[in-house]
Structure 1
Amino acid sequence: MKRKMTVTLAVSILANGALLSSLVYSPSQALAQTKNVVNIPLPAISTLDSTQWGTQNLLQQGTILEGLYGYNSKNQIVPKIATGYKVSQSGKVWTFYLRHDARWSNGKPVTAQDFYNGWMYDASPKNSASALWASMMTNVVNAWNYHAGTVPASQVGVKVLNPYAIQVTLNAPFYLLGMMPLAGSMPLYQPDLTAHPSTWFMPQNFVGDGPYLVQSFVPNGEIQLVRNPDYVGAKGQFNVGNVDQINIIPTPTVPVEDFVAGKLDTAMILNPSDYKYALSQPTLKKELHVAPANEMTYLSWDKSTTTSPLDNLLVRQAIAMAIDRTPLANAVMAGMGGAANGFGTPGWPTLKYEKGLPFNVAKAKALLAKAGYPNGKGIPTLYLYTQTQAVSPISVGLAEALQQELTQALGINFQIDQLDNSSWDDVVYAGLNPGIKPGYVLSIGQVNWFNTWFLTFQSIQWIGGAGVIGPASYRQYVSQWYFPTYDPMSIYRYGNPADVNNGMSWSSWLPLQKAVLADNSYLQAYAAKQPAWYQKLTAPAAGSSTLDLWNNIVNGWKTAKTDTQKHAAWVQAWKFVGNESAGNGNASIGLDGQVYQDKHQPVLQKQWNESIEQLAYTPDVKTAVPLAANIVNGMMQQGYVEPLVYNDNVYLAKSNLTGVQANPWSDFNFYQLQYIKVK
């Protein structure tokens, strides 16, 4: 999951915090309010489309839209529109029941059909910008195939049983409730969506079922939310506070200064200088809050395709064992977090099962000598990639402290390279990236929502990518799926998708058809050799086998009426078989790539990926905890990841407010704004 957190270290609070100190804070400076109005800072919001992944999700999941389930004021998942659910014995069929009194802001009832409409809009092949992976649809039968355009909507595993019951069929057993509060799992009012397909969320069109409505919205500017007079909350719950209007203000460069000046009613504290200042002011100290953030910083292999000493297990283990996390945390976090002894924040369930490499400089030196690099001699300068100083001064400070530790302990020199936010995202969260030199990246591990996969704090997020570990020759071969637009070997075999003349006749399809049959035969035989539980998890749904999907593509070509349509169908077939870059460090891997991976990927990666598949589809948390820890232990023992520090949410809130919630799901922002109350 990608984390987009902007942290700007203001000049005014560097060194001695002179400008902030010149502002003497007193409650009388608080924002003058007409009735109950609050000003809340959030990063700039460019769209209010609930199916896209962005800051708008902080508003969509519960404040302006309400789903079957949502978070309460204690961050627990509770029924909202739902009255309950039942799960089949197989664990794959979930049936949800809706209460009858929920209303849209136009007074119309909220029904099961509205949830079907919202979920199918998320998965629609026309909605290319949707974050399908961040909604309950991600594990629904044929949702991804429908999104890719290879099966019709009728084959997606969502069915309206009656106006107040909806049934969902999953690919495998899965803890679905964890994803039900997400923005992509919200209902949508179809007449609004039909009449205004690209602007349904704008104030003049928006129909919502949440406690608040959008009164005004300026993309990347201010947003005004007002109470929804037609909102009907779940009985027996605290559903909404007493705020009449919520003004969303784009996060300023100096949020603490604006809080002190009375321009904001809340402010996130994102750097030690602001934190120290708040602690030094008696009134501010009383308005200071610390809450769990479920986020940590860790060191991760950067997946460079260049041959280097880091290909040697002993070198990676030596570096991991030379890291002393406690002084790193003390020097850099300044009380806004602490040393991470594993992948999790204090109290995280997997920590008692995790066992990484111990801090032992003497043993680290011995391992380095055994690898042929005594005192680091012969190891070229390695790289430490991090976010920029402007985006994350904490990460840069950690990199500098780590650089010093490793140079002193092992004699290995590191060069710090600050990446722009987009490039850093690609290196941390994706697969292979061009131009990355051997080294590590200071990565962010988070819990974006609760399911068993996130028990690992995202330490496993990149290990599923093709070519991310293994011999350099393997990584370099697979990089051709990532770096060029189209894999040169696939072009050689089947032709170039950029050539609009391809696909006009059946003869251009024959090499692809031959490959499909051969690849399918191999993959079926390969699957038959896997453990029974794995076969069960990965078995395709009815109508979505490899040959079913292929025949759907072929039929699309046969019914094409223009050369453009014929070429488009052929390109779809090419991508089904061949490999192409998906951009941003990702690759779209076809059948040929799957076969190559199965034949050549490292045994460790295969084992980890099978375990990750099992973890993702283990609905029982008690069973999942040791499984998650076992995967993380393997990656730590191999020196691919190393925990460093964990972070806390630290924020200010005016003393007359209650119910302010810092988002614990990775974003260092405020959410669930509907619970705010003014005393």
Structure 2
Amino acid sequence: MPRLGHRRPCRRKVRSKMKRRRPPLLIAIASLSLLLAACHPGKSDSGANGQIKSSPQSEITIGVGQTGNAISTLDPSQWGAQILIDQGTVMEGLYGYGTDGKLVPKIATHYKTSKDGRVWTFYLRKDAKWSNGKPVTANDFYYSWMRTASPKNANDALWASVMTYVNNAWTYHAGGVGEKEVGVKVVNDYEIRLTLTSPHNILGAMAISGSMPLYGPSVDASPDKWFMPENFVGNGPYVVKSFVPNGKITLEKNLKYVGAPGQTNVGNIKTINVIPTPNVPVPDFLAKKLSAAVIQQPADYKYVMTHPDLKALLHSQADNIVTYLEWDKSVEASPLDDIKVRQAVGMAINRKPIVENVLNGLGGVTSTFGFPGWPTNDMQHPLPEDLNKAKSLLAEAGYPGGKGIPTLYLYCRTAADDPTGIPVAEAIQQELKEGLGIQTKIVPQPSTIYGNITWGGINPDVHPGYVIGGGTPNWNDFTSLPIQANQQILFHGTQGTIEYRKHAANYYLPKYDPNDVAQLGNPDDKKAGTTQADWDRLDKAAKGYIAYLDEWTKQQPEDYQKVLVIPGAATNADQWDNYTKAWKDAKKPADKHDAWVAAWKFVGNWSAGNGGANVGLSGQAWDNKHMSQDWHDAVMWNAELNAAIDQNKANELTANIDNYVLNNGYGVPLYYAKTFYLSQPGLTGIQANPWSWGGLFQLQYATWK
């Protein structure tokens, strides 16, 4: 079974669509009213019907992302707001987003994959140019990718580039192997080959900023300032004309740019000004300080909806985020251990009042992990909204009218982190009390603890209940298709019987699993592992677990075996041989202890903290013996999804995962987020970013008509 409990820190950036403090409603409305009047002084700005007229321009001004976001660097190896202009506007990758938001080839002409999906070869077109006229070649991609992976750049966001999937990239990043051992090879100037750690569809990763090429001579000449106008060399439709870190950035058309044939690559705007998103985007839009403005506050949305001339300029787009009621993975026994109780809760939720009254319309109702147009939306079979059925299920479980159910907990973000979190929890609280007689306690949590509960495994002091969960996938990837429904199955022991969950809690909560300490020895004991007897004890356990896991793997379905056994990858037995050699080669007692601890951590289970666990051979074997068949299947589907190459297969696996979570009541979708934005009359091609960091992106397509 794959090691599900471990997670890399800071892997997910999460955004709330309305998380910033809003100005007082009366001040906002007063300011808007004055500006609305000021912006319509005469016929030059208004048509015969009082509508704002189109005035074609060659220059636009756009706010970056959410309120408060600013750009301090254009380095694509960092995960920040700069990705909104790096990926596609000033830099262009092998693949990118087209005018319809779908993936299209940019610098690549085509690609080929090996039969097992591990080797990807990309072919580049020969007419692409840098802004200095030099050709864009495979060497430019190699330079950029290896720069991100380099151990000299330990703080680079390797996880946010295609290199996260490349064989030995992480080991190289940690200094464990040399550059030549990394699975990237330049075949020739217009052909580059990637060998992955395991099968994965990497086309979506090719569109993110961390996978953009860089012009090496410019970066090497000015390592810290290569993105400043005097040094910048780009291959995108626009180049940097001026740049004030954390302030205004001005982009102008790249006169050397050659776009991909057969598609729209750039609009007719000559100059794009990018500024930090202001606190009052609607007044700034009315004052024409902004060419397009994202609506984040309910007060702004209400104002726009009540003014027809503004409403006519309002656009909306579904974001790839669903907020849902998520089982909180508590290891305390409770009525929620009964599927009928969880299903009753799911059926009792009335979503429409939440969207209309709490979100003020800034969202859409959904009972699936999706929304209209999402690839798997119609393949899901959610629990119906049926209060009578919910009451019946509760009575069948032995809790008529909610009697006998102790107070459940509702975890959410604090008001400072998300102004909608507590109000949504209050709406759920009221519906469960009035509909089912279930009492709840709302517990706002700071962002770190909230994140551990929502996106982690088992946490201490979490009482039975739910968390108001949700999050945005970072980029277009098959593993994003469940829209985080698979958070429920990523971590060992977070579902199943209370006895099973309590056993698995030993992976997460103590420093070391006490069961493994009793069997294998205590890593904190400095004398442990220094004798042959200590090693023999560990060696016997390891070989027993490896033999069991090898036999278990042979019994799995063929598609699952392909995920579990990667050709050319080190097997458990191979890795154990390396640990054995390291222990035997150690001469001093202290060195033998250290080698023994490293081997112990391969066999035993130990806490990663913050809701994470490092699950060793013992935990994998125990889980395989005790997990329920339906959860085994869900884990298998998720592993196969990660290795899927074909879209239809990915959709099928995703629907299986979603339906497992929905039907078992582990996740109850509430609503999906939308980005609402205003654009000046005649301005087209504006795209809302449905991935991490929100806001507007793909500015190269902006066009005045």
Q: Is the 8 A contact 1:158 1:166 kept in 2?
A: yes
Counterpart residue number, 1:181: 207
How do 1:555-570 and structure 2 match up within 5 A?
A: none
Counterpart residue number, 2:190: 164
> Are positions 1:310 and 2:341 aligned together?
no
Deviates more, 1:634-643 or 1:354-363: 354-363
Counterpart residue number, 1:517: 543
Per-residue Cα deviation, 1:238-295 (whole angstroms, up to 9, x for no partner): 3233445444333333332333344433221123321110122343223211123232
Counterpart residue number, 1:234: 260
Counterpart residue number, 1:346: 372
Q: Distance in 2 between matches of 1:582 and 1:209?
A: 41
Deviates more, 1:283-292 or 1:447-456: 447-456
- Once the 2 structures are TM-superposed, how far is the Cα of residue 387 of structure 1 from its aligned partner? 2.6
Deviates more, 1:312-321 or 1:560-569: 560-569
- Once the 2 structures are TM-superposed, how far is the Cα of residue 27 of structure 1 from its aligned partner? 4.5
Could you say what secondary structure the match of 2:394 adopts? Answer: helix
Q: Distance in 2 between matches of 1:201 and 1:190?
A: 12
Q: Is the 8 A contact 2:15 2:472 kept in 1?
A: no
- Once the 2 structures are TM-superposed, how far is the Cα of residue 343 of structure 1 from its aligned partner? 1.9
Q: Which amino acid aligns with 1:657?
A: L
- Once the 2 structures are TM-superposed, how far is the Cα of residue 611 of structure 1 from its aligned partner? 1.4
Per-residue Cα deviation, 1:59-80 (whole angstroms, up to 9, x for no partner): 2221232110101222121111
> Are positions 1:675 and 2:687 aligned together?
no
Q: Distance in 1 between matches of 2:151 and 2:524?
A: 20
Could you say what secondary structure the match of 2:668 adopts? Answer: strand
Counterpart residue number, 2:32: 20
Per-residue Cα deviation, 1:632-669 (whole angstroms, up to 9, x for no partner): 11211111011211222211122253322111235431
Q: Is the 8 A contact 1:608 1:631 kept in 2?
A: yes
Q: Is the 8 A contact 2:496 2:627 kept in 1?
A: yes
Q: Distance in 1 between matches of 2:323 and 2:503?
A: 31
Q: Is the 8 A contact 2:61 2:275 kept in 1?
A: no
Q: Distance in 1 between matches of 2:87 and 2:602?
A: 35
Per-residue Cα deviation, 1:293-346 (whole angstroms, up to 9, x for no partner): 232221111112222221222211111111122333333344333221322111
Q: Is the 8 A contact 1:663 1:670 kept in 2?
A: yes
Q: Distance in 2 between matches of 1:111 and 1:187?
A: 9
- Once the 2 structures are TM-superposed, how far is the Cα of residue 228 of structure 1 from its aligned partner? 4.1
Distance 1:372 1:114, change over 3 A: same
Could you say what secondary structure the match of 1:456 adopts? Answer: coil
Per-residue Cα deviation, 1:366-404 (whole angstroms, up to 9, x for no partner): 222222222112222212222333443344333222211
Counterpart residue number, 1:40: 63
Q: Distance in 2 between matches of 1:579 and 1:385?
A: 28
- Once the 2 structures are TM-superposed, how far is the Cα of residue 533 of structure 1 from its aligned partner? 1.7
Q: Distance in 2 between matches of 1:402 and 1:69?
A: 42
Counterpart residue number, 1:60: 86
Q: Which amino acid aligns with 2:694?
A: F
Q: Which amino acid aligns with 1:40?
A: G
Distance 1:265 1:562, change over 3 A: farther
Counterpart residue number, 1:332: 358
- Once the 2 structures are TM-superposed, how far is the Cα of residue 677 of structure 1 from its aligned partner? 3.4
Per-residue Cα deviation, 1:473-509 (whole angstroms, up to 9, x for no partner): 433343343345555556664554797x999999987
Q: Which amino acid aligns with 2:553?
A: A
Distance 1:185 1:678, change over 3 A: same
How do 1:244-259 and structure 2 match up within 5 A?
A: 244-259=270-285
The runs of 5 or more residues in structure 2 that have no matched partner are: 1-11, 46-54
Counterpart residue number, 2:496: 470
> Are positions 1:432 and 2:458 aligned together?
yes
Q: Is the 8 A contact 1:240 1:676 kept in 2?
A: yes
Q: Is the 8 A contact 1:469 1:602 kept in 2?
A: no
Q: Distance in 1 between matches of 2:456 and 2:95?
A: 30
Q: Distance in 2 between matches of 1:216 and 1:127?
A: 27
Q: Is the 8 A contact 1:298 1:645 kept in 2?
A: yes
Per-residue Cα deviation, 1:519-555 (whole angstroms, up to 9, x for no partner): 3223212211211221122213315223444555677
Deviates more, 1:205-214 or 1:324-333: 205-214
> Are positions 1:456 and 2:482 aligned together?
yes
Q: Is the 8 A contact 1:36 1:678 kept in 2?
A: no
Distance 1:246 1:316, change over 3 A: same
Counterpart residue number, 1:322: 348
- Once the 2 structures are TM-superposed, how far is the Cα of residue 409 of structure 1 from its aligned partner? 0.6
Q: Which amino acid aligns with 2:15?
A: K
Which of 680, 695, 700 aligns to 1:654? It is 680
- Once the 2 structures are TM-superposed, how far is the Cα of residue 407 of structure 1 from its aligned partner? 0.6
Distance 1:125 1:517, change over 3 A: farther
- Once the 2 structures are TM-superposed, how far is the Cα of residue 165 of structure 1 from its aligned partner? 0.5
Could you say what secondary structure the match of 2:35 adopts? Answer: coil
Q: Which amino acid aligns with 2:428?
A: L
> Are positions 1:366 and 2:366 aligned together?
no
- Once the 2 structures are TM-superposed, how far is the Cα of residue 150 of structure 1 from its aligned partner? 5.7
- Once the 2 structures are TM-superposed, how far is the Cα of residue 230 of structure 1 from its aligned partner? 4.3
Per-residue Cα deviation, 1:172-223 (whole angstroms, up to 9, x for no partner): 5543323321223222344566677777666676543323345666665554
Q: Distance in 1 between matches of 2:344 and 2:635?
A: 25
How do 1:146-165 and structure 2 match up within 5 A?
A: 146-147=172-173, 153-165=179-191
Deviates more, 1:240-249 or 1:399-408: 240-249
Could you say what secondary structure the match of 2:381 adopts? Answer: coil
Q: Is the 8 A contact 1:142 1:541 kept in 2?
A: no
Q: Which amino acid aligns with 1:614?
A: E
How do 1:63-212 and structure 2 match up within 5 A?
A: 63-124=89-150, 127-144=153-170, 146-147=172-173, 153-170=179-196, 173-190=199-216, 207-212=233-238
Q: Is the 8 A contact 1:171 1:537 kept in 2?
A: no
Q: Distance in 2 between matches of 1:563 and 1:211?
A: 62
Distance 1:266 1:601, change over 3 A: same
Deviates more, 1:405-414 or 1:283-292: 283-292
Could you say what secondary structure the match of 1:248 adopts? Answer: strand
Could you say what secondary structure the match of 2:504 adopts? Answer: helix
Q: Which amino acid aligns with 1:454?
A: S
Counterpart residue number, 2:4: none
Q: Distance in 2 between matches of 1:233 and 1:561?
A: 62
- Once the 2 structures are TM-superposed, how far is the Cα of residue 98 of structure 1 from its aligned partner? 0.8
Distance 1:229 1:526, change over 3 A: same
RMSD: 3.8
Distance 1:130 1:378, change over 3 A: farther
Which of 4, 9, 15 aligns to 2:15? It is 4
Deviates more, 1:483-492 or 1:394-403: 483-492
Q: Which amino acid aligns with 1:260?
A: L
Q: Is the 8 A contact 1:40 1:246 kept in 2?
A: no
Q: Which amino acid aligns with 1:24?
A: L
Could you say what secondary structure the match of 1:11 adopts? Answer: coil
Q: Which amino acid aligns with 1:36?
A: E
Q: Distance in 2 between matches of 1:368 and 1:227?
A: 63
Q: Which amino acid aligns with 1:253?
A: N
Counterpart residue number, 2:627: 601
Counterpart residue number, 2:7: none
Q: Distance in 1 between matches of 2:215 and 2:596?
A: 36
Counterpart residue number, 1:384: 410
Q: Is the 8 A contact 1:94 1:167 kept in 2?
A: yes
Q: Is the 8 A contact 2:488 2:666 kept in 1?
A: no
Q: Is the 8 A contact 1:271 1:393 kept in 2?
A: no
Q: Distance in 2 between matches of 1:304 and 1:352?
A: 31
Q: Distance in 1 between matches of 2:176 and 2:351?
A: 49
